[in-house]
Structure 1
Amino acid sequence: MASPKPCQKKRKFRESWLEEPMFKWLIYEDSKMFCGVFRPVKRKNAFVSGCNNFQRSSLIRHEEKSCHKGAVTTTRSATLLVKCIQKQMKLHKMDSYLKFIVKLFLALSKFSKLINLQQLNGADLKGVYKHHEQFEEMLLSLSQTVDKTVHQHISEATFISVTTDESVDVAVFKKQMILITVIVEGCVKIYFGKNVDVIDGKADTIASAILNYLQEKRIPPSKVAGLGSDGAAVMTGRINGVGTTNCGSFNRSSLM
C-alpha cells in the first residue's frame, strides 16, 4: 500500500515584510506581491504580473537582481530630477517677484503682501519663501553673482570706458556715479559700477573716486580708453579737467 503524500504547508503573505527597509518597493494587492519599481516600466517579471510565491527568499532574490537594482537607480534619478525641476520653478517665481520689487524701487518688506496677493489671485505658491528676510538673502546672492559676471567681463576686456556723473542720495549727500562700458562678444555692455561718496565736485575729488574704484576692483587704469561725462568743464577742462588729471594713469594713446 502506497504511503500517503505529505501535506504541503500553505504559505501566506506576511505583513511584516512591508515594514522591512529592504523591501520598500514591495506592494501587496489582490493576494499577490508586486514590485513598485518594476510595475510602472512594465518589465516581464513575476513581480510585475503578480507573485504568489510567499517566501522571504523570493523577495531577496528579486531584490538582488541587477535589473531591479538598475530600475531602483533610474527611479531615484527621476525623482531627484523632478525635485530639482520643482525647486527651480519655485526659485523662478521668487526671482520674478524679486525683479518686480527691485525695478519699482519698492521696499523688500512688501514681498509678503505681494505673495499674499498672488495667492488670493490663485497662484500656487506652496513651498515658496514668504518672509522678506529670505528675499534679502536671495537678492544678496543674485547681486554677488551679477557682480562676479561683470568683473569677469571687465577682466577679459582689452579696453574699457568709464562714464561718470554727479548724483545725490535721498539725504542729498554728494555722490559720484561710475558706469563701465565693455565689449563682450561684439556687443556693447554698460554696467553700473558704484555710487561713490564724494566730499565735493572738484576734478581732483572725482578723479580720486574713479581711481579708487578701479583699484578696489583690481582694474588696471591703463585699460581705460574712454571717459564719458555730461560735458561739464570740471570733466572736460583742458588744464584741470578730470580727463587731464587722470591722463597719467589712463591709456593716453587711445583715450577718447
Structure 2
Amino acid sequence: CPGLLLTPRYGSVNHVPDYHDRRRYAVLQLMHGGQRLADQPFAAAYPGLLTHGIDDPAAYIYRGIVADCLRAAEFLLSREEVDKNRVGIIGDDLALITAARRPHFIAVQAAGLTFYRLMEARQRTDAYPIEELNDHLRAYPDRQDAVARTLALFDPLHHVSQIATALAAPLLSVGDPGSLSGPEWLQPLMSALGEGVERYTLTHEGGTDQDLLDAWMANKLGVEPRSRFWSSV
C-alpha cells in the first residue's frame, strides 16, 4: 500500500493520524526527541525549543530533530507493506528538508513554515514560536551573527533544489498576501522548487482546505480521496 510520513509539528504532542489516512496508507506520525512519547531523557520546553542550542549549529536541537525525520523516512521505506513507488510526506519545513535529503517521496505537501527566511520573518511578527527567536536575541544581542549562521543551515530555501531535481511533486499551501505564508513571501521558495511546484491558496475554511489537500495527495499516491468532515454514505 502507499506510505505516508507526517513530520512532527511544533508542540509537545502530535495528533494520531486520521482514521481515513490509516485506512488508505501505511502512515507514520513521527514524534521527535523531546515530544510526548519520546521525552526521555530529554523533554522539550514550549516555548524554548526553537532556540535550544541555537548559538552553535553542532549543538542546535533541530540538528537532532532533522535526523529523527530522516530516520523516520528510512524506517517507513524499509517496511515490506509499503509500495516504495508511492510514498508521500506532509508537514512544514521538516517535510521539505526530509524530502530533499531522502529523495524517495513522489509527493510533498508543506505548510506553516517556520525556518524559511527566519531572520527576516522575525522582524515581521511577534507571534510564537517565531517570537522565541526575538526573545533570545533581545537577551543575547551579541549572538545574532552566530544565530544567523545556524539558521541558514535549516532554511528549506537552501535544500529544496534537490526536490526540484527529484521525481517529487511539491505542493505549497499559500496564505493571504502580506503574511508570512503569502505568495510574494514564498516566491523565492517556489522558484527554488522549480517548474514542478504547485500552490494551493488557502480558503481558511477548514473542511474545504482539508478535503482539497487530501484529494491532491490521494491522487498522487493512487487512492480514493476521503473527506474528513463529510460522509459519503
**With structure 1 as the length reference, what TM-score do the two structures score?**
0.26
- Structure (1 or 2) with the larger CA radius of gyration: 1
Q: Which has the higher helix share?
A: 1
In the superposition, the TM-score normalised over structure 2's length comes to 0.28
